Amino acid sequence: MLSIGTLANIKHILQKELFLASGERLLSVVTVVKKKDKRACYLCVVTTAPPVAVVTLVLVKQSERERENEYKRKRSWQLDEIKWIDGRTEQFETHEFDIQLEKLYKWYALNLHERQNFLAVLNRQIQKYVRVGQRAEFRNVPIAWLSEKSPEKIAIGGSSSRNTAKNQKTNQHSDGDDDDDEEEEAQEFTALTDKEANELGKLFSECDFAIKDAEQFIEQLSKELHDLDGANIQSVLASEQKVLKMMEHIDKAISEADGFETRLDSYEDILGHVKETMEKIGGKNAMIEIANNNNIKLMKELNKVISQLDLPQSQQQALDDPDLKTVAGRKAAIAAAQCLQQAMNSDIDPALLRLEAVQDRRKRFEKWKQKFSATVSRFMNNLFIHLGNEIGDMPLTSTELTLPNHSNVHRELTPYTELMHWCKAMDRKTYDGLMKVYTTSLSKIYDRDVRNFFNLAKLQVSEKLRNSREDLDMSTSSRKSTLSSTQYGTLGVHRDQWGPGVEAADRIRFDALLEKVLAELEPIALQEQLFCINFFQMDVISPTTKNTQTTLEMEKSVPDMMSQSLIVGSSSSSASAAAAAAASSPSPTVDGVPPQDKIDRQINEDVRNLMIGLFGCLEPELVSFIQSFERVDSFYSLYVFVRLTQHVMSARDTHSFLSKTFGFALVQVKRNFDRFMTHQLQTIKDYKLHKRSKAILPYVENFEIFAQTAEGIFRKSDRRTDMDKWYLQLVNAIFEGINFHSQSHPKAPSQVVRMENYHHMYALLAQLKVPGLDALKKEAKSRYNDALKAYVTQYFGRPLEKLNLFFEGVQQKVAQGVKETEISYQMAFSKQELRKVISQYPAREVKKGLENLYKKVEKHLSEEENLLQVVWHAMQEEFIAQYNYLEERIQKCYAGAMINLEFNIQDILAFFSDIARSH
């Protein structure tokens, strides 16, 4: 490898002999060879002098034929011709590098420091003088090289302190730009060290003639160099024997190493055998440890199984001969039964269930379970029947409207609640049978109580129906025959055709009694429902359809677990129960558990079925109670509709049996209510006029009673919207009926019929103040005003008919183009003609005509609505309007003629006032 001193010498030679003459400066050089050509050549980075610096890459070769120190340029490239430079690897010891120009050049650098410096300088020049898009890519070149300013300078400075002195001197005169760095890299000489200066001074002191005779000095130096070369050769020849001796020692050392290696191989074989032996011993120890661990775990499992399947002797005796009558015996029996249940649902590994001892224990548990279950079934069955018979034999002597409370039965049965829970889990058949016996025994009591309760309620509704239920039924049938198929309060029927109605006090009494009936039913039904849920544990769904819930039975699908290792974790009991539930349930489940909404639906369904069995007659008795009084008075359906809605909406448990019963009854009542309202609507449409019909139609007159009764019931009810919807239909039907029947009324003119009926409806709607009827109230007022105007127009007419005809002719002439001031010159409309017409309407005749009109109006109108003065006042306004029109025409067409009517406005007011007072 070339030394740093040789590097500096080559750089100095190339700069001096090749580039100095052309004014170029050598920035960096690397000595390279090609793989095919072993001769050394030089790659140089050269720049021209400022101000326009041109940097090129030059290939220099040394001539062979001529003098050895002659160098020539072989090729040169611009920096933008370089495509990429590849350093092969980023290791410092790599000599190769490639440059892609017009073709790929592969070089081998003889000096690593020279290669590093060349690549760093080339990168810096490319970054400085080549545009961004045309810059060459450097591959596999350390990033540190590309960031250093002068690696060559750093390497030289590390081997000699001369370089440090040079850098300090250069940095003092540097302004920090790139040109000074290039000058620093191209520096031709370096300062001598002190040692070199002393040696050079000593050499010159020994050769004083060197200054005078250089050739003699050169010859002396050559002679000394020749002597040194000879001494070196002699030294080499003298060291040959030592080299041979050293080789012999090396061969002996190699043979010793071979022997040592052979011994090591034998030791390795011995150690390998020892290793195999130790591995076998370790495997045996591991198996022994595994066996011990398995034995420990097996002992723990067996102890666990024994403790879980152990049943004390005292509890066995309690199961064989339980005493359920005493408190102590009952507690002992319950505790023993719970221990048996816990043992039969022990958390035991499925593999251990195959043990004969476990199966024998299971069979003994099963015998105890069956014997104890039979004892509990017999005892509870007798207890249910006894309680049912004891209460059923008690006579009902109370006349108050109250439903008997059987909380004493619940108190008697509460101590046996845990036994029923045990039966549900351990013997489902016994549980179902006991539930059926309880339902049968108690349903007789509740049927008797409910029927007597509703019979007493029916008797208390009316003073006339207190004797018996048969009297009520007979009275109901007699009422129906008396009504002649016309119910009280029917809108489309005259009141004199109504059947006998029910007084308001009777309705209020019925409403209060209905509220008391519903209030009495709620606590009794809810109390019984809560007791049944707790006593029969109906809020818990059994996870299996089997008769007994147990984990000790071996399933056919259980695999043979004995072939597996005993180190197996047992599954939890909850997971087993969930898996069993998933296997038995055909419905889709989530992680083996049915969805919560399905569980809730099943629980509610079971509770309702049980309550239906206990209170089977409650629903038909309630519906019968309601319907029996609806046949007497249809308005009862409105009271029932409101009351039942309140109780259904205020129910705390909407899924309870009583809420469902009330809901079903409410549906029936809603149908009766709609049927009643539909019947009212149909009677309005089916009404037919007869000869004695009055101006006020019957459905208009009856609507007042109907609306006032309905408002008293629905004013603050949650069912207000239902009544408002029917209000709209009824009022619209009444409006249509008024228009239809006014055309064919046998007595009153159609205008009078519409005027009086619409006035009556407007006054009633204004009095009711129902927000949903505001639009119809305005419509009623509008129709009333239209009818009033039509009546005045038709029957008042034009009292001054000839005057009106005269001025109609005048208006026609004006329309034909005759001026109003020239009308008096027309023969037919002269002043004399006008005076003749006016003379036909003296004040006395006008008043007489008004008196006849008043009598006609008085005959048309009915006294109930009291509209005579209203109509008379409207006719007065109409007469004044006609009078003002005639006076205006006279003043415009006959101005200055001193022509006036024989009466004025004051006279007209006096006429109308006198006529009204006289009648």
Identify which has the larger pLDDT, 403 or 6.
403
The neighbour count for residue 914, using CB atoms within 10 Å, is 13
Identify which has the larger pLDDT, 434 or 842.
434
Identify which has the larger pLDDT, 701 or 565.
701
Peptide bond into 51 cis (omega under 30): yes
242 alpha carbon, distance to own chain's centre: 97
Structure tokens at 214: 């250089």
pLDDT, tens only, 292-324 = 999 988 888 888 878 778 778 887 888 888 888
Residue 315 contacts residue 322 (beta carbons within 8 Å): no
Question: What DSSP letter does each residue of 806-856 carry, written as one string?
Answer: HHHHHHHHHHHT--GGGGGGSGGG-HHHHHHHHHT--HHHHHHHHHHHHHH
Of the ranges 144-153, 242-251, 584-593, the best mean pLDDT one = 242-251
pLDDT surpassing 90 at residue 121: yes
Closest CA to 536 of 635, 439, 453: 439
Of the ranges 253-257, 584-588, 764-768, the best mean pLDDT one = 253-257
pLDDT surpassing 90 at residue 59: yes
The neighbour count for residue 894, using CB atoms within 10 Å, is 21
pLDDT surpassing 80 at residue 746: no
Looking at every residue in the chain, the average pLDDT score rounds to 76
Give the CATH number of domain 4-146.
2.30.29.90
Tell me what pLDDT residue 585 has: 41
pLDDT, tens only, 80-98 = 999 999 998 888 888 899 9
| Residue 188 DSSP symbol | -
Mean pLDDT of 457-471: 52
pLDDT, tens only, 748-762 = 777 778 888 888 888
pLDDT surpassing 90 at residue 58: yes
Tell me what pLDDT residue 574 has: 34
Structure tokens at 711: 């408002």
Q: Largest Cα–Cα distance in the chain? A: 184
Q: How confident is the model at residue 223 (pLDDT cuts 50, 70, 90)?
A: confident
pLDDT surpassing 80 at residue 648: no
Strand order in the sheet with 71-78: 71-78, 55-62, 41-48, 24-33, 104-109, 96-100, 84-86, 137-139
Residue 434 contacts residue 382 (beta carbons within 8 Å): no
Mean pLDDT of 177-198: 55
Q: How confident is the model at residue 119 (pLDDT cuts 50, 70, 90)?
A: very high
Which long-range contacts does 315-323 make (Cβ < 8 Å, 24+ apart)? 315/339, 315/340, 316/368, 319/368, 319/371, 319/372, 320/368, 320/371, 322/372, 322/375, 322/376
Residue 532 contacts residue 606 (beta carbons within 8 Å): no
Tell me what pLDDT residue 192 has: 65
Identify which has the larger pLDDT, 567 or 783.
783
Q: How confident is the model at residue 582 (pLDDT cuts 50, 70, 90)?
A: very low
Q: How confident is the model at residue 674 (pLDDT cuts 50, 70, 90)?
A: confident
> Which amino acid is residue 782, in one-letter code?
S
Mean pLDDT of 351-374: 82
CA atoms within 13 A on the CB side of 338: 10
Q: At what angle do helices 417-426 and 327-344 cross, to 10 degrees?
A: 20
The neighbour count for residue 217, using CB atoms within 10 Å, is 17
| Residue matched to tokens 């300090």 | 168
Mean pLDDT of 733-750: 78
| Backbone angle region of 633, left / alpha / beta, with phi > 0 → left and psi within -120 to 50 → alpha | beta
Tell me what pLDDT residue 138 has: 92
Q: How confident is the model at residue 568 (pLDDT cuts 50, 70, 90)?
A: very low
Mean pLDDT of 726-751: 80
Tell me what pLDDT residue 474 has: 44
Tell me what pLDDT residue 117 has: 92
pLDDT, tens only, 807-827 = 778 787 878 877 877 777 777
Mean pLDDT of 268-292: 87
Residue 33 contacts residue 42 (beta carbons within 8 Å): no
Mean pLDDT of 618-628: 80
| Backbone angle region of 431, left / alpha / beta, with phi > 0 → left and psi within -120 to 50 → alpha | alpha
Tell me what pLDDT residue 154 has: 45
Tell me what pLDDT residue 632 has: 64
- The pTM assigned to this predicted structure is 0.53
Q: How confident is the model at residue 697 (pLDDT cuts 50, 70, 90)?
A: confident
pLDDT surpassing 80 at residue 422: yes
Mean pLDDT of 446-466: 72
Residue-range domain boundaries for the chain: 4-146, 313-467, 800-916
Tell me what pLDDT residue 56 has: 93
Identify which has the larger pLDDT, 390 or 273.
273
Beta strands 41-48 and 137-139, pairing class:
unpaired
Tell me what pLDDT residue 163 has: 39
Residue 276 contacts residue 284 (beta carbons within 8 Å): no
